[in-house]
Amino acid sequence: MISIFNDVIGPVMRGASSSHCAAALRIGRLARDLMGGDIQQVLIEFDLHGSLPATHQSQGSDMGLFGGLLGWDAADARLAMSPQALREAGVAVEIRYVDLHDPHPNTYRLTLSNATEQHTMIAISTGGGMIEVQDVDGQRVALDGGARVEISGRVLHPVLPVLSNPGATLPFRSCAELMAHDGGREIPLWQWAVEYEKARGNLTDAEVLAKMVEIVRILRASIAEGVAGTTYADRLLGHQSGMFADHMQRGALLNAGVLNRTVLYTTALMEVKSAMGVIVAAPTAGACAALPASVIAVAEEMQCSEEDMARAMLAAGLIGVFIAGPWTFAAEVGGCQAEGGSAAAMSAAALVTLADGTLTHATGAASMALQSMLGLICDPVAARVEIPCLGKNVLAASNAVSCANMALAGFNAMIPFDEVVGAAARVAERMPREHRCTALGGLATTPTALRLSAELAARAQM
C-alpha cells in the first residue's frame, strides 16, 4: 500500500538520485540485518542490460548501498564517505556486471558473507526511494521495508518512516475511486489525503499534518542554503541561484511574477541536491525541486502559513499515490515523464489547493500537467542529475503554475487523471532504454556531454 510519506513525499535524504542512493541505502540496511551486522565480503551484481552499470557510481548507488551496509540513515552527513568507511570497516566489496536480463532495470543482486555464514538477496529500486526485496536465500518474498520481518533466522527491521498497517482498509486507491467516494461534495484534496494516510499508517489527523509541516521546514531550510551558495567537487554546475536572486532584487529580469521566485527556489534546491545537502525526494531526488519550490514560492507570495504549505503538499502527495500505485516514479522505467511529469501533476494540484480550488479543479490541473509532459526522456549529461534535470524541474514547476490557473479558470482537462497515468505507462513501454536514465542517449551523447564526462572521470582519478 502506497504511503504519502514513505513513497511520495520522502525520503529525507542526501544524494543525487532517490532511486539510486536512497533506495540502495534501504536495501543495504536490510542486507545488514540479514547478516546480523557482521559483514566481511559483499558481491554486488548488476545486469548489463539494466540502468545500473552506467549510473551506479555517478548517481549514488554505491554511496547509498555502502551507507546502508554500515547502518547509516539516508540523511547522514557521512554518506559521501561511505565507500572509504566501508573499506575501513574491513568489508571487501566486488562489483560485477553480468548478463542476466533481469526484468527490472534497477536490480541489486547481493551475496554477503563472513567467516561462518553466507546469505543472498535480490532487491529492486522501484523509484523515489521505494524498494522491493524479491528473494532472500533463494526464497521468494515481497518486502517493502515497512515492517519487522523474520527470515533466514534474522530480523529485518523497518527502513520506512511510516510502518505498514496490515489491517488497513483504504478508502480509495485511484483518482476515479476518490471522485466516486467524494460523491460530488468537492471536499478539498488535502483533506482526502489526510484520510488516506490516517488509514494507511494508523495515524491521527494531527500526526499527518505535523509530519508534513516538519518536511516543509526542512525544505525551506534547504532553499535558504541553496540561495546562500553551495559547493561540491563532483558536479557540473556551480552556484547559479545566487545570481538569479541578485538579478531579481535589481529588477534585471523579465517580470514573470511568482514564477521568478519559483525558478529561484527550484534552482536552489537542485544545487543543494548536487552538493550532497539535505533534500526531500518529492517524488524523487531528480525531480525534488519543482513541487516544493512552486508550493513554497506561491505560498510566500500569498503570505500563507507553513500549515497551508503542508496541506498543499499533502494534496500533492495523494496525486503521487495515484501515480505510484499503478505505475512508477523511476526514470529508469518511465523516462523523465515519470519524474518530472509526476512532479508537475503533483505541483499543479498543490497550487490549486493553496488557492482554495475544488477537488475537481485540483485533479483536473494534475491531469493537464501530466498530459503535457508525456514522452519526456531522461538523458543525464555525464550521468549526473544536473543537466538537463535543472531545466526539466523548472519546466515542471512552470507547467504546474499554468495548469493550476487554467483549472481554476474552469478549463476542461478532458482526460481523467488515471487515464493519463495509463497513457504515460504505455508511452514508457515504447521508450528505448537509451532514453531511460542510462546516460546512453539524448543530450548525454552530444560531443560536449562526452567531453564533460571525460573531464569528470579524469578529475576523479587525480
* Tens-place pLDDT, residues 279-316: 999 999 999 999 999 999 999 999 999 999 999 999 99
* Tens-place pLDDT, residues 235-244: 999 999 999 9
Going through 321-443 in order, the beta strands assigned E by DSSP cover none
**Average pLDDT value over all residues in the chain:** 96
Is pLDDT at 60 greater than 90 in this prediction? no
Residue 386 Cα distances to 56, 88, 190, 306, 457, angstroms? 16, 31, 31, 29, 16
Give CA–CA dist 77/22, Å, rounded: 13
By 3-state DSSP, what share of the chain in percent is helix, strand and coil, each rounded to 5? 50, 10, 35
Cβ atoms 93, 31 nearer than 8 A: no
Give CA–CA dist 262/246, Å, rounded: 15
| CATH 3.30.1330.90-classified regions of the chain | 4-156
Which residue is it, cell 483504504? Answer: 170
Q: Given this model, what pLDDT does residue 187 score?
A: 98
C-alpha cell of residue 354: 493553496
How many Cβ atoms from other residues are within 10 Å of residue 394's Cβ? Answer: 22
How many Cβ atoms from other residues are within 10 Å of residue 28's Cβ? Answer: 30
Q: Given this model, what pLDDT does residue 461 score?
A: 78
Q: What are phi and psi of 132, to 5 degrees?
A: -145, 120
* Tens-place pLDDT, residues 98-138: 999 999 999 999 999 999 999 999 999 998 999 999 999 99
Q: Which long-range contacts (C-beta less than 8 Å, at least 24 apart) are formed by 304-308?
A: 304/354, 306/213, 306/216, 306/217, 306/220, 307/209, 307/213, 308/354
Local structure of 401: helix, strand or coil: helix
Q: Given this model, what pLDDT does residue 14 score?
A: 94
Which residue is it, cell 485511484? Answer: 174
Is pLDDT at 43 greater than 90 in this prediction? yes
Nearest to 49 by CA among 111, 97, 96: 97
Q: What are phi and psi of 286, to 5 degrees?
A: -65, -25
Which residue is it, cell 545537502? Answer: 277
Q: Given this model, what pLDDT does residue 64 score?
A: 95
Q: Is CATH 3.30.70.980 what the domain over 4-156 is classified as, yes or no?
A: no
Q: Given this model, what pLDDT does residue 164 score?
A: 82
Give CA–CA dist 167/436, Å, rounded: 37
